[in-house]
């Protein structure tokens, strides 16, 4: 590997603009987002692919292509279990992603299109062991290899804190573990953008806010932001020196600078998104069926120069036409997650005005399977067969280096399950795997007097599949790598003392409007803890019938409660969990609790997920 590169921070390096402009624009006032669209503005229908036409070119056209993906999460290996397919098609794996990117680029080149490959955050963080064991250096090296050009940061880029993100970007060995693969780490060759992550001391973004690429001589600008709500969903300790500003205000501010320097075609890379809803029961990967989510209002407030918005965070796929602040449409896309889709965005520019004249977008499945004559997919022991003809040799060689290094740890069998244990939430907000993890943490801290445990649902990253996996273990056996994929954050396991009244307040804070909570998140309870809730009741009075082992919880009594340290530090808006006393920390990490539980005796069975009763 090469040594860490030296990269200047003059983000307008392709333009004849002084670097001082960055500091100047950072001090300018920012405009608010538009809250009311023009009366004639309406989201586009579900199109496959979405297509938007603007003014006819007056000075000749330039053709280009954006290839985009988001929420890769270090998914170097093809996802398994229930996540192995996209709408029934087996997909994912970095050596297959590389192949499909090359294929789409070649098709674009044949049409005279210049390709720029972009991302919308969460490339790293919450990653499987093959990446996490090396502090996500493998993922960054593979993103370099597959040809990523520019990406926004996402909330998970901050999982190990700002300092670690800056090392990942610039290169250099880990300050504690060094360069574990023995050949150095050169950092990201692509440009990480973080326009709305502001250093509290300098008042400037911690990474470049914007980038510019020239397509046939016409400049195209990129602004990259993560969701403003990042502080509520990452460990507060790692981001204490930065603030996160409003997505729309930030995008429009930097978009104004780009326009000042002659850039009239812009792309927003934003780690926030939306989702399609039924009907149909299974929306198409390039549809926009019954679409909603935070991205709708974000786009509604954007300058009209943002013709393309590449989004993420929700792990959903879609391609939409949504109105921007002018009432005109912007193309808004997301490629799901785990590198199982690539968004293919074709566009044209007016050579004279520099503006978009037309944009189309569709999602392409990163297919990795072998199709049978009847249209089904080959499987062996419940695992989809992989198509060797779709493997990119270079990406596979780099991935195999890390797979080989981590295999002795990843493939070690640590326990057994009796059936699939899924992370999917039931209508009450509870999931079988969430319950199992809470049970594991309770068992892990019983010696410290723990009486109950609570697990945040966002920390459960994958289901446990009963079928055999690529590691070669028997059906029902769980490897350390599979357990780590479920809980990849290396959170500590913390036990604190709360009164019964405090415990009720913790559960009330699952719902929007109570003590600052902005998002409903149902904590996963350990066995013995039961309660009911009515989400339609007034804030602070939604939880009832709270009991532990059948005994109503006394508001004045004390209880030892176990959580991970993310929750104990107030993560996910659970500030009430930061108010416990007698805090102790168990040895090891949360994944160690799960591993110990899976290997403690008989195969672990999925729970009924009925500890919580939803009344409304």
180-228 pLDDT, tens digit per residue, is 888 899 999 999 999 999 999 999 999 999 999 999 999 999 999 999 9
Tell whether domain 54-398 is in CATH 3.40.190.10.
no
Residues of the chain with CATH 3.90.780.10: 412-614
| Structure confidence at residue 34 (pLDDT) | 38
Tally of CB atoms within 10 A around 183? 10
| Structure confidence at residue 40 (pLDDT) | 33
Transcribe 456-520 into DSSP letters. Answer: -GGG--SPBPSS--TT-PPTTEEEHHHHHHHS-S---EEEEEEEHHHHHHHHHTTSTTSTT--S-
Smallest CA-to-CA distance from 390 within 35, 601, 26, 101 is with 101
| Structure confidence at residue 11 (pLDDT) | 38
| Structure confidence at residue 264 (pLDDT) | 97
Architecture of the domain made up of 412-614 = Alpha-Beta Complex (3.90)
| Structure confidence at residue 470 (pLDDT) | 62
Collapsed DSSP state (helix, strand, coil) of residue 319: strand
Query: What φ, ψ does residue 613 adopt, rounded to 5°?
Result: -110, 120
| Structure confidence at residue 472 (pLDDT) | 76
Residues of the chain with CATH 3.60.21.10: 54-398
The pTM of this model reads 0.86
The Cα–Cα gap between 389 and 380 comes to 18
Low-confidence ranges of the chain (pLDDT < 70): 1-48, 470-471
Distance from the Cα of residue 571 to its chain's centroid: 16
């Amino acid at each position: 590997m090469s040594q860490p590169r030296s990269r200047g921070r003059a983000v307008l390096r392709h333009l004849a603009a002084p670097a001082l402009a960055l500091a100047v624009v950072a001090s300018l006032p920012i405009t608010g987002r538009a809250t009311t669209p023009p009366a004639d503005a309406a989201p586009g229908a579900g199109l496959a692919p979405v297509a938007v036409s603007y003014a006819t070119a007056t000075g000749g056209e330039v053709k280009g292509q954006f290839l985009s993906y988001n929420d890769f999460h270090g998914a170097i290996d093809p996802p398994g279990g229930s996540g192995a397919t996209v709408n029934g098609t087996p997909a994912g794996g970095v050596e297959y992603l590389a192949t499909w990117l090359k294929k789409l680029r070649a098709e674009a080149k044949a049409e005279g299109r210049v390709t720029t490959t972009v991302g919308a955050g969460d490339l790293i963080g919450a990653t499987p062991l093959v990446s996490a064991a090396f502090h996500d250096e493998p993922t960054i090296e593979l993103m370099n290899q597959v040809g990523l050009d520019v990406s926004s940061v996402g909330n998970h880029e901050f999982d190990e804190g700002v300092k670690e993100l800056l090392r990942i970007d610039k290169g250099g060995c880990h300050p504690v573990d060094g360069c574990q693969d023995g050949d150095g780490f050169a950092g990201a060759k692509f440009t990480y953008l973080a326009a709305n992550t502001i250093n509290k001391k300098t008042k400037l973004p911690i990474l470049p806010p914007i980038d510019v690429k020239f397509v046939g001589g016409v400049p195209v600008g990129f602004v990259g932001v993560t969701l403003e709500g990042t502080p509520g969903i990452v460990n507060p300790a790692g981001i204490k020196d930065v603030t996160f500003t409003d997505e729309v205000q930030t995008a429009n501010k930097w978009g104004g600078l780009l326009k000042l320097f002659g850039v009239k075609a812009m792309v927003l890379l934003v780690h926030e998104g939306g989702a399609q809803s039924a009907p149909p029961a299974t929306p198409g990967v390039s549809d926009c069926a019954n679409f909603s989510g935070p991205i709708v209002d974000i786009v509604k407030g954007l300058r009209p120069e943002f013709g393309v918005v590449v989004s993420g965070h929700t792990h959903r796929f879609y391609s939409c036409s949504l109105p921007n602040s002018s009432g005109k449409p912007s193309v808004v896309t997301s490629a799901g997650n785990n590198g199982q889709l690539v968004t293919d965005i074709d566009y044209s520019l007016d050579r004279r005005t520099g503006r978009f004249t037309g944009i189309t977008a569709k999602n392409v499945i990163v297919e990795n399977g072998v199709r049978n004559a009847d249209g089904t997919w080959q499987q062996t022991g419940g695992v989809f067969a992989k198509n060797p003809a779709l493997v990119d040799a270079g990406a596979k060689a780099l991935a195999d280096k890390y797979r080989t290094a981590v295999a002795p740890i990843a493939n070690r069998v640590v326990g057994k399950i009796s059936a699939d244990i899924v992370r999917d939430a039931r209508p009450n907000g509870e999931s079988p795997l969430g319950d199992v993890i809470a049970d594991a943490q309770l068992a892990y801290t019983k010696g410290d007097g723990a009486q109950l445990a609570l697990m945040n649902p966002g920390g459960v990253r994958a289901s446990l599949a009963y079928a055999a996996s690529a590691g070669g273990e028997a059906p029902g056996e769980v490897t350390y790598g599979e357990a780590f994929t479920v809980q990849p954050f290396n959170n500590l396991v913390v036990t604190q003392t709360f009164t019964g009244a405090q415990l009720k307040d913790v559960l009330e804070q699952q719902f929007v409007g109570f003590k600052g909570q902005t998002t409903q998140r149902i904590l996963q309870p350990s066995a013995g803890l039961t309660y009911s809730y009515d989400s339609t009741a007034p804030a602070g009075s939604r939880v009832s019938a709270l009991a532990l082992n059948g005994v109503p919880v006394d508001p004045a009594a004390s209880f030892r409660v176990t959580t991970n340290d993310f929750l104990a530090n107030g993560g996910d808006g659970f500030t009430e969990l930061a108010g416990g006393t007698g805090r102790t920390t168990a040895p090891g990490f949360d994944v160690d609790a799960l591993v110990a539980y899976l290997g403690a005796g008989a195969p672990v069975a999925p729970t009924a997920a009925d500890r919580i009763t939803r009344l409304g």
